[in-house]
Chain A
Amino acid sequence: MISLILILLTSLFFMGIVVRTKSLASGRKGPGLFQPMKDLFRLWEKGSVYSKTTSFIFRIAPTAYTASVLMAILMVPHGNHPGLISFNGDFVMFAYTLAFGKFLLIISALDTGSSFEGMGASREALYSMLVEPAFFILMGSFALFTGQTSFQGIFSLLHFGSNVSYMLGALATVVFVMMAMVENSRMPYDDPKTHLELTMVHEVMILDNSGFDLGLIQYMTHLKFAMYGALIANLFIGQLPLGLSIPLFFVTQILFAIAVGLIESFRARHRMGHNPQFIFILSSVSLLIFFGILLLTGRFI
């Protein structure tokens, strides 16, 4: 429960910080912290234009996508406090629920019969496929480390005792940050601000969505960032009392948002054809963590 409220709160200002950081980095003053949310409210009040080619799939996909992200967020714990949904192996359901939303969003892009949207859909499907093993290796390493198989069990026992384990925490953070960038189609993998359909991933997939649905899809980006931020925060919260863990949570989220803003300001987008190779880095870093943990726990002879 507590993590749900915290994530929903964070989602309100997260993108604001990202946008502000980007503005400051490029020498502009930038809009207020809540401007992205205000834009969304405006979208939610607008009417929609539907393509004549589309079917019911196109109408329900944004909602199903929203439901899948919300469902996934319900599983994220806050350190020792479990999420609303918590059982052994919940992170498997976490990943597969997100995949469900993605499945519907991809077919809704193909529903429009547009060549651009098929392009985006194809790329999104491939990239999310490539990210999935990294997530499972990472969770597998933590399961190996803690002997637990639920989010809450893993995060409450994940203590960083020695120097080596701090390094592993840092590596895991890197993986989560990169994963969030891929999943939300942000900078080094995709440039949401580009204006050429041929070079986009996520934005070109939702070209035909408008009004309320577009607002939902865009809000999901905020929520997913906050969700990955919560996972990163969980790496460090452990069993801290709420008085300490909640400020730590927000500090982590803000640092994460600033990091995202800085990455977007100072990195160029990868060449589209080389994106898969870059995403493989995620899996290899996760494998590094895995072998690190094997070494740490003394199982590696």
Chain B
Amino acid sequence: MERLLIELFNLLTLAAVLSFPFFKIKGRSFITLGVLTVQVLIASVTAFSVFSNGQVAYSYPGSWITGIIPVRMDYLSAWFILVISFTFLTGAWYGFHYMKKYRDQTANLTLHAVALLFAYTAMVDICIVQNGMAMLVVWEIMALSSFIIVIFEHEKKETMKAGLNYLIQSHISILFLTIAFMWVKVKTGSFDFTAITTFTASQPAITGFGLFLCFFVGFAIKAGFVPFHTWLPLAHPAAPAHVSGIMSGVIIKIGIYGILRVLLLIKTDMVTLGYFLLTISLITGVYGVMLAIVQHNFKKLLAYHSIENIGIIGIGIGLGCLGIGYGNQILLICGFGGALLHTLNHSLFKSLLFYCSGNVYQATHTMDIEKLGGLIRKMPHTAYLFLLGALAICGLPPFNGFVSEFFIYSGLFHGLSGGHVVSILFFLFAIIGLALIGGLALICFTKVFGIVFLGTPRDQSIKVSIPEKPMSFIPLYLTGLMIVLIGVVPFLLASFLVETIQLFIPSLDVGGYLQLESLLKMLTSVGWYSMGFIALTAVLFGIRQLVVAHRDNLEDNTWGCGYTGNADKMQYTASSFVRTYRKLAEPALLIQKEKKEASGLYPEDISQVTHPGDKIEKWLIDKPLSLIAKGLNRFAFLQNGQIQAYILYGVVFIGLAILLPVIIDKMQLLIQFLNQL
């Protein structure tokens, strides 16, 4: 049954793509949306049936290269398939409206649609294929198709540059994954994922850790852990809004899926691994949000926030690993539970935020926060939906971000009350880190929302062009509804979450079961109190409205210290809002300033421009790369453009390839001969 559904799921993509030549561009858009919706339905039905009927496993014979290709759909796969499917559904729906005005670019849009379908199909397949070689192939399909959906506006130089950067980094990721799978294949002779378990179980812990590092680097590039994050802030602003939403919502999450999958398989010293993950995630989280605050580009800012949230998810995963390592079930439950839930939550609010940014872009044709302002009057739906997303991403109750952060916090505080000094210090720093991330996110999103949507327009030359269309808001409201639902009734997800977490627990004893129970009770109470909070606010606001209605209320200009003229240009801007913070964080950031100060009796126009840079990128990526380039430049003379020289290189190469074994053989003979002497 499930096998049939999954095969149907894959065939639908091919059928849709093959039908494209027979339709006009409008028909193609409808087919894409329709087929994707049906696929989402199929995938969700399959995932739900896995949750209710247990795991599904079957296999294809494969070829002599891959060996048998097992397809296993366990709870982890099902959870990620649900997360991916929901965001792709809203993304495709939103994209359908977003792309309407590009319908004259027939070929370009068709390619985009094909790539979108392939990306979705490949991502779902990644979650269920459990053969290294097959997964690499599917992974490559995903990497290529997501590259194509990113470079929709490929005529722009910036977009192409960002796209190529993404393409190269995805392939570095594939390189590491290939090394890891090959390592296991060479040692055990199998590409099956279970070989990873058998291989690492028979080896010392250090080998397992090395193998994990290989996998981790591969997946971390996709997920955007610092220092592998550099493609994110480039690719997100370049892509169309729905693609940014999908990328930030789920494509980077496939990296998280990979890490979780490998953690399920690998047998190594989980304590070291946990500390390693915790440290790198803390750096990722804090660094991501620190850089996010100083960004002026709307989408770039959101992209840095994705890095921050990957950090939060990583803290959860690290905590879970420590739970496995120390045999502490509550840490394990809180850690993995928080990570899984935050994966879902982040995919919801981040896609919502990106869709809103897309609306802003279509209305104003700019992503520069400094130029915007007062959009709440012209696009109220976008503004309130963005506010919802902003509150959720800051982890504030009563929205979903709080629930998952609360999970992780409870794990960390629980970890504090036991254990030894090293783990306590790590947990303390994780708590400080999470608190800092929360506070910094608050600065960042008050800035974005306050500057973009509130006040008055800061640049009069920007005209808000199109009115909001109600139909295009359905996917946004759907996402918003999910955000609120998870915030107030998180226990609806409890059974799915419990089943997924149990994968990580070898055997749940009675104590662990009680703890799980108490944690679920806590989840329920958080939900109820969140609901109570909403009710309290509503009641208080009702009272306030009643009281205020009986008073004399006036409307007047904003208080301007007596100045009553046009004060649009005098408003606080994004840079001025974060100036105090920037001064404080300057040592950790890389900010280039161009300043023109007033001087003389008749000063000319003054100006100040800041360009936020990335210190880690500069020192860990750009510097080594430029050194490598410098070193390789010494061999530039080889590339002299003469065809004769190139033929010579070829002959030398072929000669070496043939002679090398012979030479080695002779060398061995010589060494043996010398030894005998």
Q: Interface of A with B (CB < 8 Å)?
A: 44-55, 57, 60, 62-64, 66-68, 70-71, 85, 87-89, 92-93, 95-97, 99-100, 102-103, 106-107, 109-119, 121-123, 125-126, 128-130, 132-133, 135-137, 139-140, 143-144, 146-149, 197, 207-208, 211-213, 216, 273, 276, 283, 290, 294, 299-301
Contacts and interface: CB of A to CB of B under 8 A. Distances in A.
16 contacts: A50-B554, A51-B559, A52-B555, A93-B402, A99-B394, A103-B396, A116-B559, A119-B576, A122-B572, A122-B580, A133-B439, A137-B431, A140-B416, A273-B583, A294-B421, A300-B421
Interface in B424-452: 424, 427-428, 431-432, 434-436, 438-440, 442-443, 445-447, 449-451
Given A48-B551, A99-B394, A107-B454, A125 B558 contact: no
Nearest to A72: B533
Interface in B548-591: 548, 551-561, 567-568, 570-572, 576-581, 583-584
B646 interface: no
| Residue among A113, A116, A207 with max Cβ neighbours from chain B (10 Å) | A113
B537 A211 contact: no
Contact of B570 (A115, A213, A216, A276): A115
Given A51-B558, A71-B536, A299 B421 contact: yes
Contacts of A55: 376-377, 454
A197 B480 CA distance: 38
Contacts of B551: 45-48, 211-212
A115 B565 CA distance: 13
B374 A51 contact: no
Interface of B: 373-374, 376-377, 387, 391, 394-397, 402, 405-406, 409-410, 413-414, 416-418, 420-421, 424, 427-428, 431-432, 434-436, 438-440, 442-443, 445-447, 449-451, 454-456, 518, 522, 525-526, 529, 532-533, 536-537, 540-541, 544, 547-548, 551-561, 567-568, 570-572, 576-581, 583-584
A158 B568 CA distance: 54
B558 A114 contact: yes
B451 A110 contact: yes
Contacts of B584: 126, 276
B410 A149 contact: yes
Contacts of A213: 544
Contacts of B544: 62-63, 212-213, 216
Given A88-B518, A115-B572, A144 B416 contact: yes
A33 B237 CA distance: 58
Given A47-B551, A93-B397, A100-B396, 17 more contacts: A51-B557, A52-B558, A85-B529, A93-B402, A111-B455, A112-B455, A121-B450, A122-B577, A122-B581, A123-B580, A126-B443, A128-B442, A135-B435, A143-B417, A144-B416, A149-B413, A299-B421
B516 to A, nearest CB: 13
Contacts of B421: 294, 299-301
| Residue among B416, B447, B449, B526 with max Cβ neighbours from chain A (10 Å) | B416
Contacts of A216: 544
A119 to B, nearest CB: 6
Contacts of A133: 432, 435-436, 439
A48 B554 contact: yes
B661 to A, nearest CB: 58
Contact of B567 (A89, A93, A115): A115
Nearest to A299: B421
- Top 8 A-B pairs, shortest CB-CB distance: A118-B572, A110-B450, A129-B439, A113-B455, A47-B552, A47-B551, A67-B537, A51-B558
